[in-house]
Amino acid sequence: MTTPAPPYQLAALMTLEDCEKLHEHLNTAYESAVTLDCAEVTRLPGLAAQLLAMAQKSWEQRGFAFALTNVSDACKENLQTLGLAQLLTHKEATS
């Protein structure tokens, strides 16, 4: 059993550079549960949302937990607008 990576704080506005950092974090945490803290998110562009959707699917397929925590209202609204509300109902990372 691996130790879960510490929660990763998403930026308020996910720029291209922030998406690259998130991608690096996900690569580093590839064999463990992932928790992404969305408390500061005010705008979630399409690229960031795509990263979240693909990561959630990848982690689920490999049997690892993937969770978004402290999801801000703006982040919720952005995910719903992009048709990704299912990311909001995914269970908390525990393994």
Contact 94, 64 (CB under 8 A): no
Contact 75, 44 (CB under 8 A): yes
CA distance 79 to 73: 10
Rounded to 10 degrees, the C-alpha dihedral 93/22/8/37 comes to -70
Domains and CATH numbers, the chain: 8-25+33-89 (3.30.750.24)
CA distance 42 to 59: 25
Each residue's pLDDT tens digit, 3-62: 666 899 999 999 999 999 999 999 999 899 999 999 999 999 999 999 999 999 999 999
Grade residue 88 by pLDDT with cuts at 50, 70 and 90.
confident
